Structure 1
Amino acid sequence: MKQLQLRIHHAGEQIHPMHAFEMEHERVEWAELRHWNTVFDETNAQVFRVRGDPEVFRAKLAERDATVAYSVTEAVDGVFYCCVRDRVTAADRRYLDAFARGTLVVVPPIRFNGDGTTELTLVGTAPDLDAAVNALPDGMRATVQSIGPYRRRAGTPEAGLTDRQYEAVAAAVESGYYDSPREGSVADVAREMGIAPGTAAEHLRKAEATAMQRLCRR
């Protein structure tokens, strides 16, 4: 069983209308899909976490023909939740069908980025992972961010780290690098990993940047 982290690039016409709205509206910063159901009656029920103004999000949902029902919470510290049920379009179906196979599980959240890409984590067998990537509809392509054995940390805030970045952070914690006062050093991390100090420092820098970005989106 493997885990695969993907960034999906969507051509302009393949970007979901709500994602396009989030990208363009100055009062919506970002959104991520936290939970969803299996399609039984050609509708989707989904829960989104959004940073922005819930009123503009509510207004957009109300005007969409595909929206069946929705509920939007009040914002707390600028973040609100939206539960929406909408009709599955042909474009939705082609996208969903790429991942509806055999052993595959999509691990939430799915993140919608301001550049029109989405990020998601898949868990499954290697053949099913390959098939899903190859089955993406025309106008979509995938960039593999990481692939490896399934780990319990898949889909959690640290899942954006590569395996080597995670090893560097683990070595840093073990050495006391993050203690106060600091006990360990980059040299200790490098020695534990068998790499040059400059490489260890780069792994830590990138891991810390990823962790802080993910933390600010929680």
Structure 2
Amino acid sequence: MRRVTFEVSYPAALVHPLHRRLAEEEGVSRMELLMWGPTTNVTTLSWFDADPATVRKVLTAVGSLSSASLVADDGGTYAFVHQTGFEFDDALLDLLAAASVVFLPPVTFFADGTATFDAVGETAALSEFYRRLGDLLKTRIRRVHDFRRGPPAGNLTARQAAALEAAVGVGYYDVPRTGTVADVADELDCASSTAGELLRKAESAVVSAFVADGSPAADG
């Protein structure tokens, strides 16, 4: 099993209204789609790097919006959104529905018009999905690695988990250390102070969970 991080850019005709507004609105540059529901009655949980007032402005772009609840936390705003449809182009939704891969949260949308997401599956299925996705969107592969299941690493938020993954990728936990907090911030497209805070909270959660578990480790 492989895990692939994709980066896509949408042609004008396929840009989601919310993503278009994200690029136009001042004070926000990033949205992370953390959870999403069935297409017949969509409920999503997202995080924005903005205050609630700005997020409300961005959400007005969603024509199918029926209600939204906003919570300021984790350096930005969480949005619980109820809507009657995803508002993505039908060709893209059909491709996602037919793909023989699984998509992992978050799906991250950036103000520069790009988006990133991870998919897990067998090599042949991932290659076929990449080929078909490239017929619709400008697509590139940012990272490929083996997929490994494992127990939950503490009570991590999606942002904290992403920070840990980025830190491992840039060598922040190598011995000797080859990456910096600034490198992690570059991967997350956030300020170094934000990356540092995310790492500290993630490390605290992981260590606390390990100590609470009490499982003995092998000598080494």
Q: Secondary structure at the match of 1:100?
A: helix
**Structure 1 residues 80-89 or 142-151, which shifts more?**
80-89
C-alpha displacement of 1:139: 4.7
Structure-2 separation of matches of 1:66 and 1:10: 21
C-alpha displacement of 1:60: 4.2
Aligned to 1:157: 163
Aligned to 1:143: 140
Amino acid at match of 1:71: S
Structure-1 separation of matches of 2:87 and 2:57: 24
C-alpha displacement of 1:57: 2.3
2:48–2:55 contact (8 Å) kept in structure 1? no
Aligned to 2:10: 10
Amino acid at match of 1:156: A
1:101–1:128 contact (8 Å) kept in structure 2? no
C-alpha displacement of 1:98: 2.3
1:71–1:82 contact (8 Å) kept in structure 2? yes
TM-score by length of 1: 0.69
Q: State the structure with more CA Rg.
A: 1
Q: What is the number of residues matched between the two proteins?
A: 182
Amino acid at match of 2:162: T
Identity %: 22
Q: Determine if the alignment matches structure 1 residue 80 to structure 2 residue 86.
A: no
Where does 1:176-187 land on structure 2 (aligned, <5 Å)? Answer: 177=176
CA spacing shift, 1:110–1:87, aligned 2, 3 Å: same
TM-score by length of 2: 0.68
Structure-1 separation of matches of 2:149 and 2:167: 13
Amino acid at match of 1:4: V
**Which aligned runs of 4 or more in structure 1 are off by greater than 3 angstroms?**
89-93, 158-162, 168-171, 207-210
CA spacing shift, 1:63–1:34, aligned 2, 3 Å: closer
Listed one character per residue, the Cα deviations across residues 157-198 of structure 1 (whole Å, up to 9, x for unaligned) are 344478xx56x54542xxxx35xxxxxxxxxxxxxxxxxxxx
Aligned to 1:68: 66
Q: Secondary structure at the match of 1:136?
A: helix
C-alpha displacement of 1:147: 1.4
The match for 2:43 among 45, 65, 77 is 45
Aligned CA RMSD, in angstroms, stands at 3.1
Structure 1 portions without partners, runs of 5+: 179-203
Structure-1 separation of matches of 2:19 and 2:42: 16
2:48–2:78 contact (8 Å) kept in structure 1? yes
Aligned to 2:209: none
Amino acid at match of 2:69: S
Amino acid at match of 1:157: A
Structure-2 separation of matches of 1:102 and 1:138: 14
CA spacing shift, 1:63–1:141, aligned 2, 3 Å: closer
Structure-2 separation of matches of 1:137 and 1:171: 35
